[in-house]
Amino acid sequence: MKHMTRKATRHVNQNEGLIFEKSSPGKAAWKLPPLDVPEVDTTALLGSSEREDLGNMPEVSEIEIIRHFTRLSTWNYAIDLGMYPLGSCTMKYNPRVNEAVARVEGIANGHPYQPEKISQGALRIMQTLSECLIEITGMDAITLQPAAGAHGEMTGLLMVRAYHQSKGNARKKILIPDSAHGTNPATAAMVNYAVENLKSDSRGMVDIASLESQMNEDVAALMLTNPNTLGVFEQDIHKIADILHAKGGLLYMDGANMNALVGKVRPGDFGVDVMHLNLHKTFSTPHGGGGPGSGPVAIKKALEPFLPTPVVITKPDGTLSFDYNRPHSVGRVRAFYGNFGMFVRALAYIQANGPDGLRQTTEDAVLNANYIRKGLEGAFDLPYSTPTMHEVVFSDKLQAKKGVRTMDIAKRLIDYGFHPYTTAFPLIVPGALMIEPTESESKEEMDLFVEAMKSIAEEVEEDPQTVLDAPHTTRVSRLDETAAARKPILRWKPA
Amino acid sequence: MKHMTRKATRHVNQNEGLIFEKSSPGKAAWKLPPLDVPEVDTTALLGSSEREDLGNMPEVSEIEIIRHFTRLSTWNYAIDLGMYPLGSCTMKYNPRVNEAVARVEGIANGHPYQPEKISQGALRIMQTLSECLIEITGMDAITLQPAAGAHGEMTGLLMVRAYHQSKGNARKKILIPDSAHGTNPATAAMVNYAVENLKSDSRGMVDIASLESQMNEDVAALMLTNPNTLGVFEQDIHKIADILHAKGGLLYMDGANMNALVGKVRPGDFGVDVMHLNLHKTFSTPHGGGGPGSGPVAIKKALEPFLPTPVVITKPDGTLSFDYNRPHSVGRVRAFYGNFGMFVRALAYIQANGPDGLRQTTEDAVLNANYIRKGLEGAFDLPYSTPTMHEVVFSDKLQAKKGVRTMDIAKRLIDYGFHPYTTAFPLIVPGALMIEPTESESKEEMDLFVEAMKSIAEEVEEDPQTVLDAPHTTRVSRLDETAAARKPILRWKPA
Amino acid sequence: MRYLPKSPADREAMLKAIGLRSVDDLFAPIPAEYRLTRDLNIPRQMAESEIVDFFRQRSRENGDGYTSFLGAGAYFHYRPVIIDSLISRGEFLTAYTPYQAEISQGTLQSIFEFQTMICELTGMEVANASMYDGSTAAAEGVMMAVRLTGRRSVVVARSLHPQYREVLATYATHQGMPLSLVNFGVDGRINLKELENSITPETACVLVQSPNFFGTIEDVNAIAEIAHKHGAMLVVSIAESVSLGIVEPPRQADVIAMEAQSFGVPLGFGGPYCGVIATREKYVRQMPGRLVGQTVDKQSKRGFVLTLATREQHIRREKATSNICTNQALVALMVNIFMTVYGKVGLKELAKQNLAKTAYAASQFSKHGKLLFATSPRFNEFVVQTSEDPYAINSRLLGHKMVGGLPLQKFYPELGNAALWCCTELTTRSAIDTAVGLVAESERSVRSAKEEVEEVAR
Amino acid sequence: MRYLPKSPADREAMLKAIGLRSVDDLFAPIPAEYRLTRDLNIPRQMAESEIVDFFRQRSRENGDGYTSFLGAGAYFHYRPVIIDSLISRGEFLTAYTPYQAEISQGTLQSIFEFQTMICELTGMEVANASMYDGSTAAAEGVMMAVRLTGRRSVVVARSLHPQYREVLATYATHQGMPLSLVNFGVDGRINLKELENSITPETACVLVQSPNFFGTIEDVNAIAEIAHKHGAMLVVSIAESVSLGIVEPPRQADVIAMEAQSFGVPLGFGGPYCGVIATREKYVRQMPGRLVGQTVDKQSKRGFVLTLATREQHIRREKATSNICTNQALVALMVNIFMTVYGKVGLKELAKQNLAKTAYAASQFSKHGKLLFATSPRFNEFVVQTSEDPYAINSRLLGHKMVGGLPLQKFYPELGNAALWCCTELTTRSAIDTAVGLVAESERSVRSAKEEVEEVAR
Ligand SMILES: Cc1ncc(COP(=O)(O)O)c(C=O)c1O
Ligand SMILES: Cc1ncc(COP(=O)(O)O)c(C=O)c1O
């Protein structure tokens, strides 16, 4: 652990119990204004529907709530604290101006059903963002409705199905590379398509021969992640698109890795028919401990009739409006219009960058990943030596000899002051270490990361137990996940 | 250290260098809009006044700034993290609604010179707060201009001087009890009064006999803190006021300890002529690592002509206005009108409490101090057994036998997850431990505090070295203050 | 670009370390013909001040300063200030899904508390960490029932939020889940007889909303009895979570699919909101979404982890209970803080104020327009039928900077000139009186116009 | 009360532990006749929503939405969003003065950086942790010079902010520090001849402001030479800190007393702002206010502490260099973040934009009104003399939701109908054009009225 103090130290930190353990009758953090209408007899109004009591809901004061969540927050790692190199997650800086503009009164408090006449601001935001995303992806149209990436996948596949159905045959299956994210097959199942695995070749790319042999009129689409989850750009993309299109199939692109492409190349230009974006990855909306996200789906012209309703249109008088009259639409995938607050943030991000900023961002993201690859080559096994785009995937092969696996290295990285990389994904790399630095990391931070990783590699040789027992510097040590799943305790109950 | 994990643990924590160490030419966190007027030739405009370069000012990006200050913040203790029992400082909860309303557009961005016609909101806030504070103190008039407690003291003494001067004799000295805060004598000196110390009696109160013998026509005022810095209410306050008034002197009250009195007793009712308040203590405005504060001065009628200019008045048409035409005023003590942002917060605090809330607040503050006193009696020496109001002062007499002083105990308290109490003040208690919990502490938090203090007392007996070497759990250990003062390094310089 | 922490020298040094000459080399893997050689045609890089101006301008075009009587699945309640103070802490805002438990206890413990409070409020035994929103939660709740019962068809109340019905239809279409609708009666509640008739041995579940789209509280007891009698499950959707403060939760339900937006989440033009699914313990392994469970570390210290992940897509892939991955965690944190602020007593008092405001408004409106479903208990919404088209009335209200109730014709043509009005604790009596006054005026003028016509006819 | 973390049962238990029966017993030490037996006559306890409404209402009465040309010691610059994001962290907001260094390194290191940047910008060697504001900093700077020189009288430029002069007068009166004023010339700068004549062997210091109250940049070189020649110190006040981005700092000064409000601090109707004092190293022991110094811990790790406390009131009491205790720490943190955001290049570019806007405005105004002090270099303020009373012009501007320049008559009667205008990077060309248009109209109407009179006379 010789280097670790360069990046982190331990510091005294407040414990905090469950809020229920602080509750006591008569404490309160609320106060209502005096009622300006007559009091009502709730029993007379509600009869048997009246609720008696609220069980174990807490009773605490405001200062206790502030302390509770402030203390809890100090046990979290976050982008704001340091590098968060989760592969496939694009943990980039979340600009604060995004948060500020999302809270401007008329934007934060607009009601989804308020008349369009007084919704022009929101509609304009949606339209401007749509135009930007269409230009960035090189596609023809877009829906902003899906609430996350997986939701976008579902929306996209619904459109794929509707498209094929309109041609008379919905087809039966979706081809999915073995390197794909779990949401891809899960989504295909939800849209009632069979999943057929497509294997990767030795470069970590789609095996063209397999694709050719598996492609037929039963295949509705190929769901391709590009760059794929190895951080590798599918160089045969042209051929892939041709193979699909030749048999009437569609090319679906999982846009989770658009951070490698924005401003440098457009999926619409290389044959993609449908794709989703993750505004919570590429476009800087905060991850918030797991969400919210936003998963717009961009499409080529041929799929436009099938977009979810409503669609934002410009009326002849120049005002904006929602068009609900779309007979071929796949329908609605969510109430209202999607995670509007994320649209605001994504647009603010695009505005802050402009064309030059977005391009530079992509360049820096790819530069960072390559720098890390270079720094760690040798210390860790690199299963695919194909050129790296925005992320790089190592394996724990070298360390496994000492019984140390990717998760152990990940836990040890915590002691060095870093959030771990993504472990055990993609599945085609046994013991994967999937590292995506994003553009938001400085050279200094990456040098510390490389140093930490190399130091851990040394520790594995010299003192593997230290790595196996990690983390050593956190409030709790490794938690018993098996016990948690065996007899789940999913809520607090009074003793 | 058997109990300490109940309150705190260590947790991994990010190091962070100086911002200058992250600077590199070409990085930037700023961007200006395009200029909508012609560019200018700066040399032509400024000639020899033009500046060439900005030395070692940093060049960093926004994410680095966010991380820099976020990381730095994690090394601070704060009210939001736990009990902050600094005696005399009244470290109470800083309500978040105060921060929200202080940032409402027209309040945050009002220019001090904007026409009164469009300043009615700010004037109304000042007037409403003034009225509340006058009612709370039982005084007749007030100025909100002083920027902090010490500044209020100066303003108050300037009025005292002006008052006496108007009677033909400015007088020569101010009586100040030996328990007083350092700002009291320092202020007297700034207003060109001599300071005469007044000793305390065995109860820790003003020695009435001494006061009687020291009081004469040379004495302009007595500066009394009540409750005093021992947390003791001056029970002879009536007599004290009479003695002063009989010789034409004024009673100045340092209102730093108003948290013991609000809603329960009013200084104006017990003979005080001039007093200052600390909005950053009693009225919940945040301390912000050392300020800003606000130190309104409330006075009796006789001193009204001497208030600093301007004074808020109501015009015949009902609108509010600043009155600058005050020939007897002591003048201005600060540009503009004072720390207006603190007025907003203090008023919001008063509104959130109302009369019942303020009274309950005071009761809880006094209850908490007495609870701690009870809990620690025996474990620590209590030099004055007089009843305790809002704070209690112990001494390190018992621990000093083992060579452990108040500062050592304070440092050890850090390991237990607490901010230390105030050390070495008031001066009349050698090795003082001055503890003010305020009303914001729950019974649970105070029980942990008492437990921690008792545990330290035990440690002093069993293992004093642990206490002497404390803190053990912080990012840095005890810092060398002597070296810092001997050869001061007050700024960073490039290597 | 101001977010990028690199100087030109840094980039140079890094390229050199990698062994490349230029940035272009990094993009060599992309076939040259696809590489973009022009700037994207999007707005130029803007200063922060310009961005703020842009959105302020949009805000001004977006109903800022209007008083609204809209509810219908999105409710305007007061949001305590501390919600934003706390969720803005970078440690919550900029953390990922808490996969690494040792440095995610803040997020994990708060989700555990969220799950607990949702259980307390709904009367269910387990709750998940969130779903996208109330509509998708309802659809996923139904899919859960389909998996649990092995049956496929679904009976849906027409008084369920029309957009929730649309979403369910989209989700159901390709999963071979036939939907049938059950109408509401003159009391605004589901027609129990029709319900009973709609349920077949193939019915996986009955889906109702309570308080329903009209604000009317359903007789969940009776509905549950009917559903359960036929071996179907009962899924109850709750769109106005504040109702739980005073309305008995649907404890007889098997699955509750909730929209928790009312608990401290800004209206935000429809999102992000916070769906949740709560159910009985025995169904937990068919639940979609993330779950946090309590466990211990190596020193037996209490801690929290994501658990039962074998239900989820990253483990089970096409066999997962749902494809959901990213959920609404930060919004769930808002909800969590809101529930904590109001707590056991405050939520009840808050709900009471909603009830009182609504009772007052309903009684005032009923003096002029016709209050539909008047006999049933309701929470904070009610339907008023007017003589005039509600769009016309609303456009007059707009002139007073007021947004009237939601016209229902487009969803329920049979209700004619009806609109759905909502009052919360933030609706002032004077706003109600103004709106009632305008409706009264409308009625008067229609009446006098009619009288005129009759006069002429006579 | 919602801020109080105690239940009735807690209070009971605590009283019992103490051995008291009732809360009243706690207040027994207070003589009964003084104890308040009634409620305070202040507003009743309000809900948070009511408090927010109250201040929103006040905001609407307070110039919200007006474009302003006011400067004069309080400047409207853009405040980067991250300032408030960062200072709102409880760890900064709710910490006390960093007396306990081991758990205050966040505050201490940031002050150390603040001190460094103030030094870099002012060209001084040491800077303190802050003073109340620019006016009190100037007064304390003068007191420093008095202590350092052992002389007592002070020569003050009339072009120093009039309120700063007032404050200095208040501070000086009882300390036996006679003040004499030196006028400005037609170029708006201090009259050097008069200055030279004003200095006596008793002069402790000369106090000037640059850019001065008229926005004019003083010839600090020349002033310094004169002062130093007579053994007096030079104290320079800087009220518009953004000027430091493009205007050479007064390096020849002995003490710089600055108002840093322009660096990211809201106008806030005049406060809280951020005064600072910077000086030469050799004078550090006579400085007022807190200082942070670098040191090491027991493991030789770098750390920061409050230092040289022997200057301060809590150690030296009546012999302290000042009575200041609480300063403006959080505001200094805003300033610190602002300086960090703009940094070496940004501050210069920002200052340039101020210069360009002001140059444009001055040239436009000078086509109609008379630009005073036109020959001297200026930063972002300028004085325009009009035929009509500026109050009258301003009241017309108010109708366009604009606040015109500050009328100077009350401070400088000899300047007649003059007003002090200010432009910053936030002033738009169109706002300038509108204001200029209104001034032009005023001039035209005065002229035509005059012509009419002349016509009649002829
Ligand atoms: C490659 C890939 N596809 C899909 C997803 C799913 O996106 P979301 O979590 O937004 O539903 C992810 C997110 O982790 C991903 O990395
Ligand atoms: C008793 C007492 N008097 C005066 C002061 C000075 O107040 P301020 O720091 O606001 O200038 C303090 C503050 O610590 C104090 O405790």
Q: Give pLDDT tens digits for B129-186.
A: 999 999 999 999 999 999 999 999 999 999 999 999 999 999 999 999 999 999 999 9
Contact B12 A64 (CB under 8 A): no
Q: How far is CA D334 from CA D84, D111, D331, in A?
A: 8, 11, 5
A109-121: average pLDDT: 97
Contact C49 D81 (CB under 8 A): no
Examine residue A34 and say whether the peptide bond preceding it is cis (omega within 30 degrees of 0): no
Give the ranges where D123-180 is alpha helix by DSSP (H).
Answer: 134-149, 162-173
Which positions in chain A touch B61 (Cβ < 8 Å)?
A: 442
pLDDT digits (tens, 9 = 90+) for A297-320: 999 999 999 999 999 999 999 999
Distance in Å, alpha carbon of A128 to nearest chain D alpha carbon: 23
- What letter does residue C100 receive in the DSSP assignment? S
Q: Virtual CA dihedral for C27, C29, C33, C35, nearest 10 degrees?
A: -20
Q: Which residue has the CA at smallest separation from atom 7 of ligand 1?
A: A149
Residue B493, pLDDT > 70, answer: yes
Q: Is D166 on the interface with B (CB under 8 A)?
A: yes
pLDDT digits (tens, 9 = 90+) for A183-201: 999 999 999 999 999 999 9
Which positions in chain D touch B389 (Cβ < 8 Å)?
A: 29
- What letter does residue C125 receive in the DSSP assignment? S
- Number of neighbouring beta carbons within 10 Å of residue C16: 10
- Token output for C195: 């319900």
Report yes or no: B148 and D328 within 8 Å, Cβ to Cβ. Answer: no
Distance in Å, alpha carbon of D12 to nearest chain A alpha carbon: 12
Interior CA angle at C306 toward C301 and C308, to 5°? 115
* Subunits in contact with chain A (3 or more CB pairs closer than 8 Å): B, C, D
Helix (H) or strand (E) segment spanning residue C451:
helix C429-457
Ligand 2 atom with the smallest distance to the CA of B254 is 3
Q: Is C375 exposed, middle or buried (0-12, 13-18, 19+ CB in 10 A)?
A: exposed
Q: Which amino acid is at B429?
A: V
Contact D295 B35 (CB under 8 A): no
Predicted confidence band of residue C63 (pLDDT cuts 50, 70, 90): confident
User: How far, in Å, from the CA of A107 to the mean position of ligand 1?
Assistant: 27
Give the gyration radius of chain D's Cα atoms.
26
Residue A466, pLDDT > 90, answer: yes
Which positions in chain D touch B483 (Cβ < 8 Å)?
A: 295-296
Contact D170 B38 (CB under 8 A): no
Distance between CA atoms of residues A34 and D47, nearest Å: 8
Distance between CA atoms of residues A60 and A77, nearest Å: 27
Q: What is the 3-state secondary structure of chain B?
A: CCCHHHCEEEEEEECCCCHHHHCCCCCCCCCCCCCCCCCCCHHHHHHHHECCCCCCCCCCCHHHHHHHHHHHHCCECCCCCCCCCECCCCCCCCCHHHHHHHCCHHHHCCCCCCCHHHCHHHHHHHHHHHHHHHHHHCCCEEECCCCCHHHHHHHHHHHHHHHHHHCCCCCCEEEEECCCCCHHHHHHHHCCCEEEEECECCCCCECHHHHHHHCCCCEEEEEEECCCCCCCCCCCHHHHHHHHHHCCCEEEEEHHHHHHCCCCECHHHHCCCEEECCCCCCCCCCCCCCCCCCCCEEECHHHHHHCCCCEEEECCCCCEEEECCCCCCCCCCCCCCCCHHHHHHHHHHHHHHHHHHHHHHHHHHHHHHHHHHHHHECCEECCCCCCCCCCEEEECHHHHCCCCCHHHHHHHHHHCCCCCCEECCCCCCCCEEEECCCCCCCHHHHHHHHHHHHHHHHHHHHCHHHHHCCCCCCCCCCECHHHHHHCCCCCCCCC
Which positions in chain C touch B12 (Cβ < 8 Å)?
A: 103
Q: What is the pLDDT of residue B5?
A: 59
Residue C393, pLDDT > 60, answer: yes
Distance between CA atoms of residues B253 and B258, nearest Å: 10
Residue A3, pLDDT > 80, answer: no
Q: What is the pLDDT of residue A1?
A: 47
B197-225: average pLDDT: 96
- Predicted structure pTM score: 0.97
Rounded percentage of chain D residues whose pLDDT exceeds 70: 100
Helix (H) or strand (E) segment spanning residue A346:
helix A340-376
Distance in Å, alpha carbon of D2 to nearest chain A alpha carbon: 4
pLDDT digits (tens, 9 = 90+) for D211-244: 999 999 999 999 999 999 999 999 999 999 999 9
Predicted confidence band of residue D150 (pLDDT cuts 50, 70, 90): very high
Residue C246, pLDDT > 70, answer: yes
Contact B190 D175 (CB under 8 A): yes
C40-66: average pLDDT: 96
- Number of neighbouring beta carbons within 10 Å of residue B412: 27
Question: With a 6 A CB cut-off, is A58 part of the ligand 1 pocket?
Answer: no
- Number of neighbouring beta carbons within 10 Å of residue D352: 19
**A-B Cβ pairs (cutoff 8 Å, strict):** 112
B182-208: average pLDDT: 95
Q: Which of D48, D81, D426 sits opposite C80 (nearest CB)?
A: D48
Average pLDDT, chain A: 96
Ligand 2 atom with the smallest distance to the CA of D323 is 11
Q: Which amino acid is at A329?
A: S
Q: Which of B12, B13, B64 sits opposite A442 (nearest CB)?
A: B64
Contact B100 C103 (CB under 8 A): no
- Token output for C248: 């008995």
C203-220: average pLDDT: 98
User: How far, in Å, from the CA of C389 to the mean position of ligand 2?
Assistant: 67
Helix (H) or strand (E) segment spanning residue A434:
strand A432-435
A19-48: average pLDDT: 97
D257, β-bridge pairs: D237, D277
Which positions in chain D touch B158 (Cβ < 8 Å)?
A: 170, 174
The residue with tokens 């035509």 is D448
Q: Which amino acid is at D9?
A: A
Question: With a 6 A CB cut-off, is C326 part of the ligand 1 pocket?
Answer: yes
pLDDT digits (tens, 9 = 90+) for C441-451: 999 998 888 88
Q: Which of C62, C73, C329 sits opposite A289 (nearest CB)?
A: C329
Q: What is the DSSP string of C354-388?
A: HHHHHHHHHHHHHTTSEETTTTS-BSSEEEEE-SS
Distance in Å, alpha carbon of C36 to nearest chain B alpha carbon: 26
A277-286: average pLDDT: 98
Residue B78, pLDDT > 90, answer: yes
Distance in Å, alpha carbon of A460 to nearest chain B alpha carbon: 21
Q: How far is CA B108 from CA B111, B117, B285, D51, D269, in A?
A: 9, 17, 16, 16, 7
Residues in Cβ contact with A76 at an 8 Å cutoff, skipping those fewer than 6 apart: A289, C91, C92, C95, C98, C103, C104, C105, C106, C107
Nearest to D210 by CA among D195, D221, D226: D221
Contact A10 B13 (CB under 8 A): yes
Predicted confidence band of residue A5 (pLDDT cuts 50, 70, 90): low
Residue A489, pLDDT > 60, answer: yes
Residues in Cβ contact with B282 at an 8 Å cutoff, skipping those fewer than 6 apart: B90, B255, B258, B259, B262
Residue with the bigger pLDDT between D315 and A123: it is A123
Which positions in chain B touch C103 (Cβ < 8 Å)?
A: 12
Q: Which residue of C has its CA nearest to D341?
A: C2
Q: What is the pLDDT of residue B6?
A: 82
Nearest to A349 by CA among C38, C43, D79, C272: C43
B217-236: average pLDDT: 97
Distance between CA atoms of residues C409 and D206, nearest Å: 80
Average pLDDT, chain D: 96
Ligand 1 atom with the smallest distance to the CA of A278 is 10
How many helices, marked H, and strands, marked E, lie in chain A?
15, 13
Contact B59 C48 (CB under 8 A): no
Contact B132 D398 (CB under 8 A): no
Q: Is C50 on the interface with A (CB under 8 A)?
A: yes
Q: Which amino acid is at C183?
A: N
Question: With a 6 A CB cut-off, is B152 part of the ligand 2 pocket?
Answer: no
Q: What is the DSSP string of C416-435?
A: -SEEEEE--TT--HHHHHHH
The distance in angstroms from the start CA to the end CA of chain A is 42
Give the gyration radius of chain A's Cα atoms.
25
Q: Which of C2, C8, C82 sits opposite B31 (nearest CB)?
A: C2
Residue D311, pLDDT > 90, answer: no
ipTM of the complex: 0.97
Nearest to D66 by CA among D438, D399, D384, D361: D399
Q: What is the pLDDT of residue B2?
A: 46
C42-50: average pLDDT: 98
Distance between CA atoms of residues D285 and D128, nearest Å: 11
Q: What is the pLDDT of residue C204?
A: 98
Provide the chain B residues 193-232 that lie in CB contact (below 8 A) with chain A: none
